[in-house]
Structure 1
Amino acid sequence: MKRFRTAVAAGLLTATALTACAPGGDSADEEGPIKVGMIADLSGPTSDVGSRYHKGMLGYVKWLNGEGGVDGREIEALAEDYAYDVPTAERLYKKFVNEGAVAIQGWGTGDTEALSSKITADHLPFMSASYAEELTDPGKTPYNFVVAPTYSDQMRVALNWIAEDGGGKADVAFFHNDSPFGLAPLDDARTWIDEKGLEVDLEAYPMPAGAANYVGLLSQAKSQGAKYIVIQNVSSPAAQVAKDIAAQNLDMKIVCLNWCADELFIETAGKAAEGHVLVQPWAPANSGVEGHAVIDEFLKGEGSSLAEEGLHYAQGWYTMHAMVEGVRGAIEEEDLSGEAIKDALENAGSIDTGGAIGDGAIEFTADSHRGSSATGIYEVKKGEMTALETGVAPE
Structure 2
Amino acid sequence: PPPPPPAAPKITIPALVDKSGATSDVGVDYAWGAENAAKWINEKEGGIPGIGKFDFVSTDYAYRIPEAIATYERYKATYNPPVIIGWGTGDTEALSPSIAKDQIVYISASYSSHLNDPAKTPYNFYPVCSYSDQMRAAIIWMKDYWTKELKKTVPPKICFAYDFGVPYCRAPIPAGKALAAELGFEIGPDQNCSQRGADFSSQVLAMKTFGANFVWMGNTTATAAVLAKDMKKHGLEALLMINQWGHDENLVKLAGEAAEGVHGMSGHYYWGFEAECPALVNPLRESVKLYGPKDYFPISSYIRGWINVRCAVLAIADAWAKFKEVSGPKVKEAMESWKDKVIEGTIVPPVTFTGADHRPNTKAIVLKIEGGKYKKASDWIEIERKAAWLGW
TM, length-normalised to structure 1: 0.88
Alignment partner of 1:182 is 2:175:
no
Q: Structure 1's 388 and 82: CA in aligned 2 closer, same or farther, altered over 3 A? A: same
Aligned residue number for residue 385 of structure 1? 374
The range that moved more, 203-212 or 278-287, is 203-212
Aligned residue number for residue 388 of structure 2? none
Aligned residue number for residue 346 of structure 2? 355
Q: 2:188, 2:141 → 1: CA distance? A: 14
Q: 2:290, 2:131 → 1: CA distance? A: 34
Q: Structure 1's 212 and 303: CA in aligned 2 closer, same or farther, altered over 3 A? A: closer
Deviations 1:208-265 (A, max 9, x none): 2422211111111112221221111100100111111222232222101101132121
Q: Structure 1 vs Structure 2: percent identity of aligned residues? A: 28
Aligned residue number for residue 136 of structure 1? 116
Residue type at the aligned position of 2:54? I
Alignment partner of 1:254 is 2:233:
no
The range that moved more, 155-164 or 213-222, is 155-164
Q: 1:98, 1:30 → 2: CA distance? A: 22
Q: 1:129, 1:210 → 2: CA distance? A: 20
Equivalent of residue 281 in structure 1, options 255, 258, 267 = 267
Alignment of 1:143-158 (within 5 A): 143-158=123-138
Aligned residue number for residue 214 of structure 2? 228
The range that moved more, 160-169 or 45-54, is 160-169
Deviations 1:148-207 (A, max 9, x none): 11111111111112222333622111111331111101111222234x332332432221
Aligned residue number for residue 64 of structure 1? 41
Residues 252 and 259 in structure 2, CA contact (< 8 A), matched pair in contact too: yes
Aligned residue number for residue 74 of structure 2? 95
Q: Which has the higher strand share?
A: 1
Alignment of 1:2-41 (within 5 A): 29-30=6-7, 33-41=10-18
Deviation at 1:142, TM superposition (A): 0.6
Alignment partner of 1:192 is 2:171:
no
Residue type at the aligned position of 2:46? G
Equivalent of residue 327 in structure 1, options 304, 316, 332 = 316
Aligned residue number for residue 17 of structure 1? none
Q: 1:390, 1:313 → 2: CA distance? A: 22
Alignment of 1:197-216 (within 5 A): 197-216=183-202
Residues 158 and 185 in structure 2, CA contact (< 8 A), matched pair in contact too: no
Q: 2:213, 2:258 → 1: CA distance? A: 16
Q: 1:222, 1:329 → 2: CA distance? A: 53
SS for the counterpart of 1:287 is: coil
Q: 2:307, 2:346 → 1: CA distance? A: 11
Deviation at 1:350, TM superposition (A): 2.7
Count of aligned positions = 364
Equivalent of residue 120 in structure 1, options 100, 103, 106 = 100
RMSD: 1.9
Alignment partner of 1:290 is 2:270:
no
Q: 1:189, 1:388 → 2: CA distance? A: 19
The range that moved more, 139-148 or 343-352, is 343-352
Q: Structure 1's 146 and 298: CA in aligned 2 closer, same or farther, altered over 3 A? A: closer
Q: 1:232, 1:50 → 2: CA distance? A: 16
Residues 338 and 351 in structure 2, CA contact (< 8 A), matched pair in contact too: no
Deviation at 1:304, TM superposition (A): 6.1
Residues 263 and 366 in structure 2, CA contact (< 8 A), matched pair in contact too: yes
Equivalent of residue 342 in structure 1, options 332, 336, 358 = 332
TM, length-normalised to structure 2: 0.88
Residue type at the aligned position of 2:53? E
Deviation at 1:367, TM superposition (A): 1.9
Q: 1:303, 1:78 → 2: CA distance? A: 17
Aligned residue number for residue 28 of structure 2? 51
Gaps of 5+ in 2: 147-151, 385-392
Deviations 1:84-117 (A, max 9, x none): 1000000000000001222111111110110010
Residues 131 and 243 in structure 2, CA contact (< 8 A), matched pair in contact too: yes
Equivalent of residue 366 in structure 1, options 349, 355, 360 = 355
SS for the counterpart of 1:140 is: coil
Residues 329 and 341 in structure 1, CA contact (< 8 A), matched pair in contact too: yes
Aligned residue number for residue 20 of structure 1? none
Q: 2:382, 2:262 → 1: CA distance? A: 20
Q: 1:324, 1:349 → 2: CA distance? A: 17
Q: 2:130, 2:223 → 1: CA distance? A: 21
Deviations 1:111-145 (A, max 9, x none): 01100100000010001111111211111111001
SS for the counterpart of 1:361 is: coil
Residue type at the aligned position of 1:354? G
